[in-house]
Each structure stands twice: as structure tokens, then as C-alpha cells.
Copies of this chain bind each other. A is one copy, B any other.
Amino acid sequence: MAGNRLPPYDKLVEQINRLPSLGRKTSERIAYHIIEMGDGEVEKLVEAILSAHNDIHRCSICGNYTDKEICSICADPTRDKSVICVVTRPRDIMAFEKNRVLKCTYHVLHGLLSPAEGIEPHMINIKSLIERLKKGGIKEVIMATDPSVMGEATAMYISKFIKPMNIKVTRLGYGVAVGSELQYADEMTLSRSIEYRNEI
């Protein structure tokens, strides 16, 4: 490996390094592991990569991940199709579904607006959302993007297009998390919990 370079090793480390969250050291550790893995294990890994990449695509209605034309949520007749919950990524749908909080449909933006990172409106799934709303039948759009600066900015930006359509636009409530301790809550969260206080 040392002395002359070992090209297959270098190429593998380089490819792994391009994956998100992986620094040089971890990439080398993983490359090492792949070299030492059994043949059957490597086959399983490669098979999983190719299947996921080739079989999974975005639902033509909402952008959720599916291996069919339309995702299981859009295809579900028991859903309240008059309410659309807009999320940042497919994983966020899982959070709501796991907790059985919503019985509506979703729309996945696959990103958030970010001038700093050069992410502009046309680069995320906004147009298809507007087109979906234009088809009619929608009573409410819940902006469930990340509770962050970018998530907030994206929610506000999109809501400006929806309001003129006479569709109710709502934003997730901010506040202290259930079961949390007030003394550990951050300043922003605490101030929101006051701002969004409800009469009892």
C-alpha cells in the first residue's frame, strides 16, 4: 500500500469520502472493512446500493420515496386529501406517521431555501406543490418544514403563493417539548413558547 500507491484502495477511499458526513479517517476505516469483508457480504452491500438507486424514485404526486408510480400515502384512499402537510425530506413523513399524528397527505420539498448554500426556489419541490394546489380540493396546507431559520424562511416564502389561492396556510406550533425541563430549554424555544401561549 505504501511505497507505490495502491490505486484500487485510493479510488475506493475517494468514492467513500464523497458520501455525506464521512471524513478521511472514517473513509479509510470503511475502505479497510470493505477489503476484508467476505465476498457474500460485499455482494449484499452492492446489491442493496443498486436496488435502492434503481428502484426508488420520487412519487409523481408528492415527491415521497416509493418503488411504485405513486407512493403508498398518495395511493391510500382513507387519507384526507384536502389537507397537505409540506415537509423538508421523506424522513420527516416517517416522524409524523410513526406517531400517528396526521391522516392527511404530504408534499416533500427535498430541501430548504438557502441563499448561503445557493439553494433557490426552482431547486426544490415548490412548483409541483403549487400545481397540486391549482387542481383544487385543498382546504389547508400545513408548513411542516424544519423548525429552523431556513425552514421558517422556506415556509414563509411558499405561503405567499398559497394565500392568494384562498387556502388556509398553517405553521407547526413552536414551544417547549413535552416532558422537557424548562431550565434546559434554549432562549429561542422559550420565547416562542411564550409567544405561542394559549388561553386555558
Contacts and interface: CB of A to CB of B under 8 A. Distances in A.
Interface string A62-96: 00111100011100100000000000011101101
Contacts of A34: 19, 49, 52-53
A188 B36 CA distance: 34
B52 A12 contact: yes
* A-side interface mostly: helix
A45 B49 contact: yes
Interface in A6-30: 6-9, 11-12, 14-16, 18-22, 26, 28-30
A8 B93 contact: no
Given A21-B26, A48-B12, A42 B32 contact: no
A56 interface: yes
| Chain copies in the assembled complex | 2
A72 B3 contact: yes
A29 B33 contact: no
Contacts of A166: none
Contacts of A51: 8, 11-12
Interface of A: 1-4, 6-9, 11-12, 14-16, 18-22, 26, 28-37, 39, 41-42, 44-46, 48-53, 55-56, 64-67, 71-73, 76, 89-91, 93-94, 96-98, 110
15 contacts: A1-B66, A1-B90, A2-B93, A9-B56, A9-B65, A18-B45, A20-B26, A20-B30, A21-B26, A22-B26, A34-B53, A35-B56, A36-B110, A37-B53, A46-B46
